[in-house]
Chain A
């Protein structure tokens, strides 16, 4: 079991460029999440998905789009990157949304927008 993997690990973009972050999980989890982690602000939920073909907004969704075409993959897109999107991005998954379910995290993607 690889668990939760993220691609790429590092990326540098110029303002206005676009990119897609890929998250994959091999645990057959229904729920998947995208967070960003910034110094002094903790992790904040960007978007999440409760199953294949579904997505929902989290706390800080502006400037990001997501897709969940396959159950095992959750993509995070930046259409026009801004310096404020410089951050470390984490993907996570959980079996369901039940209160007994733990979230499993990927290793993160460090994104710098110049």
Chain B
């Protein structure tokens, strides 16, 4: 079953604009990871934020985590056409005894030139 829910389901913007995607989840977590997927291919790892962290940056990416609200956001600044892809959040739930990722349903991002 899907734990996470991304919002919006789809987002269409112009090059140079910022894109914000949100993720909500249901259970306590060890960490939350964001992935990108191009056209049904493999997932590319973008960033991992641990449960004791609130914000993390990597290049044009900024991720926030609010464990009290069980939510995270991914901000892509100065978007490019090459950022067009589906973006998934994945949580690593606590107390499973092993690491498994529980993915949301994804946000489809379209960046137009």
Specify whether A and B are partners.
no
Chain B interface (Cβ within 8 Å of chain A)? none
